Amino acid sequence: MRYLALIYSEETDEPQEMTPEGMAPWIAFGEEATRRGANPVGDALQPTSTATTVRMRDGEMITTDGPFAETKEVLGGYYMLECPDLDAAVDLAAKIPAAEYGSIEVRPIMEIPDA
């Protein structure tokens, strides 16, 4: 089953530079997830200052700068993981480096059968 691990943290906690030293824990997580057969696919997101939120109301498109909700923790990245069950996905998500200073939301991806 596929799971999405959504990575939330305060933007001020995010490393500003992608240095080899700063990326080492993330690379190690990717290697472990691969060893476990989770086939990790993921990316970091640009800061919320680059985001645009889109809503449709009464047939009219409304756009605003930034994320929809004003919270301290923002979505900073994600991994899609293939795991046998939720327990395995949660165990792996706990090893994502941002779990030490932010939070990881694990959600099953809805499998839609072919028509």
pLDDT of residue 82: 97
Q: Is the pLDDT of residue 49 over 60?
A: yes
Question: Does a structural domain hold residue 113?
Answer: no
pLDDT of residue 22: 86
Which among 56, 59, 58, 42 is positioned nearest to 6, based on CA atoms? 42
Residue 87, helix vs strand vs coil: helix
Tell me the residue range of the domain where 33 lies: 2-108
Question: Does a structural domain hold residue 114?
Answer: no
pTM assigned to the model: 0.86
* Cα pseudo-dihedral 92, 31, 46, 81, rounded to 10: -40
Q: Is the pLDDT of residue 13 over 70?
A: no
Q: For the residues 103-107, what does the mean pLDDT come to?
A: 96
Based on the structure, what is the number of domains in the chain? Answer: 1
Q: In this structure, what CATH number is given to the domain that contains residue 97? A: 3.30.70.1060
Q: Is the pLDDT of residue 57 over 60?
A: yes
